Structure formats: C-alpha cells, structure tokens
Amino acid sequence: MTTHNMEQQSTKRELATFAGGCFWCMVTPFEEQPGIHGIISGYMGGHTANPSYEQVKSGETGHAEVVQITYNPDVFPYERLLKLYWQQIDPTDAGGQFQDRGSQYRTAIFYHNERQKEAAEESRQAIENSGRFMDPIVTEIVEATVFYQAEDYQQDFHKKDPAYYKEDRKQSGRDTFIQEYWK
C-alpha cells in the first residue's frame, strides 16, 4: 500500500445518524471512541424545514432529536456504532425514551446507504433474537432525510453545564435501564 493510499484510508469519513431520546445523552457514549471525528446534535425525520428546538420539543414537526456522527469506518466500523447505539436505548418503547415522552424522543436508525440499512436490520434482528427484551423491538430503521443542526447551546451540552446534565441523566432512568439490560 502506498503512503498516499494509507493517508486516504485513514481520513475516510462516513455519517451515521441515530435517534435515541434526548440527544444530550446520545453524545457521550460515542465521543471518546477511536475513529469518531465529530458528533452534532440535531433533528431529522420530520416535515418542518429549519425547525427550532422549541418546535421539535412541541412534537408538532415530526422530527426526532438525533445525533449525527462523522466517523472513519476503517477505525470504528458501522456495526460497532450500532452495537453501542442499542446499548443506550430502550428499543421497546414507542412513546419516547425514559423521562422524555413523545415522538420527538423516539428511537430510530437513519441509514445513509444500503449497506447501513442491511447492517441496521441485521442488528435489530439480532436484538430481537437475543431474548434480552420481552416486548417487541419498535426502533425504526428509516432512510436518512434532511439533517437540521440544533442550536449552538444544544451542542456538547454535557460540557457546557455538566452538573445539570449529570442530574438530568440520573433522573431520566437511562443509566439504571442500561445497567439492568446491558450489564
């Protein structure tokens, strides 16, 4: 392999987009992983152009809160992202996630190509077959649509107000759920 090819491979970048309830809680599991180049909180899957946080939060736009991850698939393959994603959510809850209720907090994997779609479907089937959950898996696997970046104050919220973030996450019940189902 030539030096040029190695450089080209090491800078390879793809997008992955996941909805897993409040986007604040979906950033931290991914951000410290090797091969992750960036995580942006935003909105996807709705019918309103350029929605604000307040509009999305109202549940009227059809959007879900999402994280869009830029990653190097040679360093951190999409299948590993999926495995980490499933371990952050309750895939049986169609009404939201933990304390956050409404369709804007639904779970969904927004695929960017057919390879991601197939991998997402395989991973969902594996979760269903695992017997880990008694209720049906309701996480959607849908084609990625327009991504709208959330407001600046929503980005890296866990770093901007760590005390509030930790308390909100603790109260949400997410960590208790993760410990119970993924220990």
Question: CA nearest 11: which of 38, 31, 37, 33?
Answer: 37
Tokens of 171: 């109260």
d(CA 52, CA 76): 32
Rg, C-alpha atoms of the chain: 16
Active-site entry in 16, 17, 20, 22? 22
What is the Cα–Cα distance from 146 to 176, expressed in whole angstroms? Answer: 33
Two tokens, residue 53: 């946080």
The torsion angles phi and psi of 89, rounded to 5 degrees, stand at -125, 165
Whether 25 sits among the annotated catalytic residues: the reply is no
d(C-alpha 154, C-alpha 22), whole Å? 11
CA distances 171 to 123, 177, 181, Å, are: 29, 12, 18
Task: Catalogue the active-site residues.
Answer: 22
